[in-house]
Each structure stands twice: as structure tokens, then as C-alpha cells.
Structure 1
Amino acid sequence: MLHKLRKVDARSVLDIYNLLLAAVLFGAPWFFVHASRTADLDLRLSSAAIIILSLAAIIAFSAWEEWINLALGLWLVASPWLLGFAHTRAMHFSIGIGVAIAFLAALELWLRYEAAEREAISSAETQKR
């Protein structure tokens, strides 16, 4: 089982950042934000999902994990208006951390895509020789 775990590299550090941001978001209703029950539930459920996906991505990367993290980050940006807790401190946490999580997920997807493209070009050039 351990031989299947990938080494921690620069790209997996982004998953660790997502994990830390989700942990802050998970604790926000207790420590910083005293908003509605809906806001508390949204922040806790969204952060729990991001924590699970980030841990899964650290253990074994798969692109779908990053796509879901990207969607969850965008959900956190839109949820204050969709769930009715706009203009609260919970909104600021939701939007700020949602933007950061979406950015990190998009960055990791782009880095993986670029690495795959570079590898494909390199192998094509090697085969020509």
C-alpha cells in the first residue's frame, strides 16, 4: 500500500494549502463567525468535503479531485447569496477562502496539464531521434 503513495512534490503542496484553508474554514463558525445556522452548516460541510478531497489528492492524485475542489471553491463564493447569508462576516470567510481554494485547485490542474504536455513533447522528440 505504501509503495502506491506518491512522493510529496511542489504540486502536492497546493493540496496541503487547500487542506489548511479548509481547516480554517471548518473552525470559522466556532471562532470567528457567528452567523446563521445555514451559514454554519454550509461552511462546515463545504470545508469537510474539501478536507477529504485534499487528503485524497495528497495520497493519490486524480484530476477529478481537483475539479471538485474547484467547484467547491466557486460554491463558497456564490453560497452567501444563494443561501441568504450575504453581508455577514461568514460571507467574507466564505468568499475569501473560496477564491483561494478555487485558485489553488485551478493552479494545480494547470500545472498537471503543463507537465503532461511537456512530457508528451519530450517523448515525441525522443522518438524522432
Structure 2
Amino acid sequence: MQKVEQQGNLLPKLNTVNAIAGAVLFCCPWVLSYDGLVLASINAWIGGLALMVAAVAAATDLWPKLNLVCLSIGVWIFAAPWLLNFSNKVDPATSHFATGVIVMLVSLVCLGGRWITMKPSKEPRP
């Protein structure tokens, strides 16, 4: 039982990883110089900002479903190079792929941790 309680305390720290990944993605257009790639830059800024806000809110446990929001943002960030047609550009595609994979993995671990730490209901199942 103690390991489950310790894992419950770990979840806000994992959401911090998502917030940092969002901040890194937000800065990538300037750091990696997305020259002339307007859609990739706008997607990185909006996706990074949305991820930072959702991850910070998930870390504070405002709403239990925020990890699903983070997971959805991670899926979008991962798929964006194909959907917005910049998958042939190495720097933006790599930054989006890496961020998307990190966010999806962390969000899935957080969702699994929520299910593990949930208290069972006292009502019998039919």
C-alpha cells in the first residue's frame, strides 16, 4: 500500500515533465531557427503554451481529466508534422516528434497512476 501512496505523490512531479516539454517546444522555433516554416512555428507556440497550461493545471489536480487533455495535446504534437506538411524538415519534425512521444508517455503513466491510486467503490457490482 505504501508504494501506491508514494506513486500518488509522484504524479505532480511527472506533470512537471510535461510542462517543461511544452516550454522547450515553445522555444524551439527560435532556438532551432524554423526558417520560413510559419505553420511549424505557430504549432510549436500554440502547442507548447497549451501543454504548459494543461500540465501545470494537471499538477495542481484542478480537474482529474487534465491528463487526458495532455495526452490529446501530445498526440496532436506528434502527428502535426504530417498533418501540417512539415515532416520533411528535420528540425521542426524532430522537435515535434520527441516532444509528442515524451508527453504521450508521461500522460499515460499519470493516467495509469490515477487508476492505481483510486479508491475502490463500496457498492457491489452487478
TM-score, length-scaled by structure 2: 0.83
Q: Taking structure 1 as reference, are residues 55 and 64 closer, same or farther at Cα in structure 2, changes over 3 Å only?
A: same
Whole-angstrom CA distance in 1 between matches of 2:80 and 2:30 = 19
Computing the radius of gyration over CA atoms, which structure comes out larger, 1 or 2? Answer: 1
Which residue of the partner structure matches residue 28 of structure 1?
28
Alignment length, in residue pairs? 114
Deviation at 1:87, TM superposition (A): 1.8
What's the CA shift string for 1:58-81, capped at 9, x where partnerless?
222423211111011011111101
1:48 is the counterpart of 2:49: yes
Deviation at 1:16, TM superposition (A): 0.5
Among all aligned residue pairs of Structure 1 and Structure 2, give the percentage whose two residues are the same amino acid.
22
1:14 is the counterpart of 2:27: no
Q: Which structure shows the bigger proportion of residues in helix conformation?
A: 1
What's the CA shift string for 1:16-53, capped at 9, x where partnerless?
11011111110000001414000000011001000111
Q: Which runs of 5+ in 1 are unaligned?
A: 1-7, 125-129
Whole-angstrom CA distance in 2 between matches of 1:98 and 1:82 = 14
Q: Which consecutive segments of 4 or more residues in structure 1 shift more than 3 A? A: none
